[in-house]
Structure 1
Amino acid sequence: MEATSRPPLPPFTLESARQKVQAAEDGWNTRDPVRVSLAYTPDTEWRNRADFLTGREKVVEFLTRKWARELDYRLKKELWAFADNRIAVRFEYEWHDDSGAWFRSHGNENWEFAENGLMHRRFASINDQPITAEDRKFLWAR
């Protein structure tokens, strides 16, 4: 059954914004595209790097491709700022490609939420940095 709301709801406080960021981190670290997509409105709007998406189905397709390419993905998010129904985060994640080359991706996201706590807009800017396996910071088990 699909949730019709996803607390905490806007307007955000410092504590509820931190909860929202942690919930997003936890969800993305599952690497389950369908589960992750349920945190977004059915008509969600995304910009992820140079990809522009609209709707949960497109999000599931995008995330399926992403995690087929970005193996052993591990993500950390940090609250940057918040106001009313918006949250800004900075993040880092590590992953490797199918040749075993490791990367740390750095970025910022701007989020806008509907009244029911589902994310309506997500705009992400991301840069990739090649790293060695020895330089990895995010080493927890899946």
Structure 2
Amino acid sequence: MTSPSSLRPPFTRDTATAKVRAAEDAWNSRDPGRVSLAYSEDSTWRNRDEFVQGREAIRALLTRKWEKEQDYRLMKDLWAFDGNRIAVRYQYEYRAADGGWWRAYGNELWEFDAEGLMRRREASINDLAITEAERKFHWPLGEPRPAEPAVVLCIA
């Protein structure tokens, strides 16, 4: 398995794609400690309406997130890359505390330091209530998605 920090800028299509997949796999683990290691100690984030700085703040945000977003499954897709930046589009599904299902759609802009750690992340996210029957992501919870997904990222 490739370490996220072993994939360093400047990115090629292959290394940018691998960086996105490594991030997706880490986020699907729902392990805030594991995920936070991909970010620099002073990384800055914009996540919805939260602005955080530093690995510890990121770890705390992710802990809160996954306490609220149960049965979380995520797919990320490379949108564009250049030098030390990557743009990603993604979707994830989760079950809220009230039992209702949601699909979140978003875009992320990533900027990396020379060591391959993300120093800046800006995420724009929109949520859509869905029924359980409308769910698309069904692989085992906490596992990376299958190499050949049964679904493709789409608008609706």
Letter in 1 for 2:14: E
1:124 aligns to what?
A: 123
1:68 aligns to what?
A: 67
**Take 1:54 and 1:8, find their aligned partners in 2: how far apart are those partners?**
22
2:103 aligns to what?
A: 104
| Aligned partner of residue 90 in structure 1, secondary structure | strand
1:31 aligns to what?
A: 30
**Take 1:7 and 1:124, find their aligned partners in 2: how far apart are those partners?**
23
2:8 aligns to what?
A: 9
| Aligned partner of residue 29 in structure 1, secondary structure | helix
Where in structure 2 are there 5+ consecutive unaligned residues?
142-156
**Take 1:42 and 1:60, find their aligned partners in 2: how far apart are those partners?**
11
Q: How many residues align?
A: 139
1:88 aligns to what?
A: 87
Shift of 1:58: 0.3
Please report the TM-score for the alignment, with normalisation by the length of structure 1: 0.96
| Aligned partner of residue 29 in structure 2, secondary structure | coil
**Take 1:80 and 1:115, find their aligned partners in 2: how far apart are those partners?**
21
2:146 aligns to what?
A: none
**Take 1:121 and 1:49, find their aligned partners in 2: how far apart are those partners?**
14
**Take 1:126 and 1:50, find their aligned partners in 2: how far apart are those partners?**
10
Shift of 1:7: 1.4
Shift of 1:99: 1.4
4+ aligned runs moved over 6 Å, structure 1? none
Q: CA RMSD in A?
A: 1.1
Letter in 2 for 1:65: R
1:58 aligns to what?
A: 57
Write the deviation string for residues 11-48 of structure 1: whole angstroms up to 9, x where unpaired.
Answer: 00000000000000000000000110000000000000
**Take 1:7 and 1:33, find their aligned partners in 2: how far apart are those partners?**
20
**Take 2:62 and 2:112, find their aligned partners in 1: how far apart are those partners?**
20
Please report the TM-score for the alignment, with normalisation by the length of structure 2: 0.87
Shift of 1:95: 0.1
**Take 1:107 and 1:60, find their aligned partners in 2: how far apart are those partners?**
20
Letter in 2 for 1:131: I
**Take 1:98 and 1:52, find their aligned partners in 2: how far apart are those partners?**
24
Shift of 1:130: 0.1
